[in-house]
Every structure is written in C-alpha cells, then in structure tokens.
C-alpha cells in the first residue's frame, strides 16, 4: 500500500521535477559558505584560471610580432647592394648625377625639330635604367659580383655616351638650321 502511494505521488509530480544543473563552481561556493558558518577553514583552495589571460597575452604577442615583420620589412634593393659592395653607392652617385645633369640639358634642348630624337633617347634611357635594376637584383641574388659590377659600370657609361651623342646630334641640327636660315634670302 505504501508503494502505491509512492507511485501515485511520482505520477502526480511527473514533469514538475527540476532537472537543471547548477552553475559551474556551485559545489565550491556551497562548501565555502558551509565552512564560514561553522568557523572552519577550507583546505581546498579556489583554482584560478590562468588560461584566459595567457591566451589574450599570447594573441597580443602574435599580433605584435606580425606587425613588426610587416612594418620593418626587408631592406631595399639599393641597401642590399651597398651591403654587398659599398663602392657601388659612390660610383652610382657620381654617374647618376652626371646622367641627371645631361638629361636636364637634353630636355632643355627639346624643340619641334629635335622632339622625336629627345623622346627616343629618354625611352632608351628608361630601358637602360631597367637593365641596371635587373643587374642590381642579380648582384643581390648572388651572381658573380665582378662581372655584374663591370656590367653596371658599362651600363652607366652607355647611358652617358648615348646622351653625349644625342646632345651632339642636337647641336648639329641647330647649326644646320641656322646655316639654312642664313642662306635664305627674301
């Protein structure tokens, strides 16, 4: 008979039972409160979770390292060439100034009669500059440095010779024009 009452009780309460789990750390908090009311000291220390702060710090460190690598980057091509051969920078400075001065002079001499010649010369100079950059890259990549350095100097000399020849041709064109202008009578 007692069993029947018990069965009826469970049937009547079915679906009303609290099946929720307590929050994490519930048992630790309960034991802490129990120990405080009884005046006893707990031997069980609360465990601190260090993984969250450590994971945040690790993430920040990874981002900082990546940012450092991106912003510092590799040295430029010119800096790498100077590391390989410091004399190159001095030679390049000298030749580059000389070429730049002659290019300015060439551009100042541009007129309707010489425009095509000046434009073609500037195009050839750009090609030679591109070849020079290729030689620099070859030097950095570990090619035979003596041959490459000689080719770099030859490239500069070729540019200078080209500019001298073109300036000479422009001078001839100007002289020819003035000679023709003098011989024309009205």
Burial class from Cβ neighbours inside 10 Å (0-12, 13-18, 19+) for residue 126 reads exposed
Cβ neighbours of 95 (radius 10 Å): 18
Q: Give pLDDT tens digits for 122-168.
A: 999 999 999 988 888 887 787 777 888 888 889 989 999 999 999 99
Q: What's the average model confidence in pLDDT over 166-183? A: 79
Report how far residue 16's alpha carbon sits from residue 101's, in angstroms, rounded to the nearest whole number: 97
Band (47; pLDDT cuts 50, 70, 90) = low
The answer for residues whose C-beta is within 8 angstroms of residue 182's C-beta and 6 or more apart is: none
What's the Cα-to-Cα distance from 28 to each of 39, 123, 159, rounded to whole Å? Answer: 16, 82, 84
Rg (CA), the chain: 43
Write the Ramachandran bin of 73: left for phi over 0, alpha for psi from -120 to 50, otherwise beta: left
Band (38; pLDDT cuts 50, 70, 90) = low
Report how far residue 55's alpha carbon sits from residue 72's, in angstroms, rounded to the nearest whole number: 26
Smallest CA-to-CA distance from 74 within 87, 61, 83 is with: 83
* Share above pLDDT 90 across residues of the chain, in percent, rounded to a whole number: 13
């Amino acid at each position: 008979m007692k069993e029947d009452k018990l069965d009826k009780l469970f049937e009547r309460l079915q679906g009303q039972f609290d099946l929720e789990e307590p929050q994490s750390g519930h048992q630790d908090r309960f034991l802490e409160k129990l120990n405080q009311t009884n005046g006893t000291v707990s031997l069980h220390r609360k465990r601190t979770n260090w993984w969250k702060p450590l994971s945040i710090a690790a993430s920040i460190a990874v981002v900082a390292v990546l940012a450092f690598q991106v912003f510092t980057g590799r040295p430029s091509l010119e800096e790498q060439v100077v590391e390989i051969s410091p004399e190159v920078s001095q030679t390049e400075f000298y030749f580059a100034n000389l070429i730049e001065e002659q290019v300015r002079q060439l551009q100042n001499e541009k007129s309707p009669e010489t425009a095509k010649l000046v434009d073609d010369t500037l195009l050839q100079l750009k090609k030679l500059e591109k070849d020079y950059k290729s030689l620099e890259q070859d030097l950095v990549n570990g090619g035979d440095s003596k041959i490459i350095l000689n080719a770099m100097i030859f490239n500069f000399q070729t540019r200078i010779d080209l500019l001298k020849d073109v300036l000479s041709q422009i001078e001839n064109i100007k002289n020819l024009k003035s000679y023709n202008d003098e011989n024309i009578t009205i």
